[in-house]
Amino acid sequence: MQSLLQKIILIVLCFNLLACSDEQDNIKVVDNIDANQYLGTWYEIARLDHSFERGLQNVTANYIQNNDGTIKVINRGFNTKKNEWKEAEGKAYFVEPTNKDGTNTGKLKVSFFGPFYGGYNIIELDKPYYNYAMVTSGKNYLWILSRTPQLAYPIKQHLIARAKELGFATEDLIYVAQTTEIIDYKAGPHVSP
């Protein structure tokens, strides 16, 4: 019974995510993204609260290229109350065709539930090194990501100020506890040769 209830809740959440995924057409996404540079592990530094990550620490997102050109997404976090890791695996793809130079526009669709896709928009990105990013999926969803468990204070403040300019409720940001003891950490291929 509990499993069925959890599935229903996840489907409702997915529909809510889909409903808000395109409401931010006025926010410009980052252009000329090297998808290979974006792959790898990202640490969640801050986020707006939502139920599917509530109570999680040491949250990471890992992006891996699939053979068919899509991206495997593995979101992982530690639930301190249950003393266990929670993991979700999904799939993403770039919405717009690849640019002539092989780069992409930072507008993706991501799914953790079969045919139901929601928006994933990269609105800030450290170029050329890809050390930090800010991602959204509607006004109620915002993530600040970093390649390391900690993000320098001036960079974090810059991203928060930018999010506030764009109309996000930055006063509601949750700062994610990260430890340096994440066993499975592998750096992504994010530094240009």
The 3-class secondary structure across the chain, one letter per residue, is CHHHHHHHHHHHHHHHHHHHCCCCCCCCCCCCECHHHHCEEEEEEEEECCHHHCCEEEEEEEEEECCCCCEEEEEEEEECCCCEEEEEEEEEEECCCCCCCCCECCEEEEEEECCEEEEEEEEEECCCCCCEEEEECCCCCEEEEECCCCCCHHHHHHHHHHHHHCCCCHHHEEECCCCCCCCCCCCCCCCCC
- In this structure, is residue 72 part of a structural domain? yes
Overall domain count for the chain:
1
In a domain, 184, yes or no: no
The pLDDT value given to residue 17: 45
Any domain includes 32: yes
Looking at residue 180, its pLDDT comes to 58
Q: What is the pLDDT along the chain (193 residues), one digit of tens a residue?
A: 455 444 444 443 444 444 444 445 579 999 999 999 999 999 999 999 998 899 999 999 999 999 999 999 999 999 989 999 999 999 999 999 999 999 999 999 999 988 889 999 999 999 999 999 999 999 999 999 999 999 999 999 999 999 999 999 999 999 999 975 544 444 555 544 4
- 62/71 Cα distance (integer angstroms): 10
Q: Does the residue 193 lie in any domain?
A: no
Which pLDDT score is estimated for 99?
A: 96
What pTM, to 2 d.p., does this model score?
Answer: 0.82
Say if CB 123 and CB 29 are below 8 A apart. Answer: yes
For residue 84, tell me if it sits in a domain: yes
Give me the pLDDT at residue 155, please. Answer: 97
Please check whether residue 99 lies inside any domain of the structure: yes
Q: Answer whether residue 188 is part of any domain.
A: no
CATH number at residue 161: 2.40.128.20
**Is residue 189 situated within a structural domain?**
no
Identify the domain containing residue 60 by its residue range.
Answer: 2-175
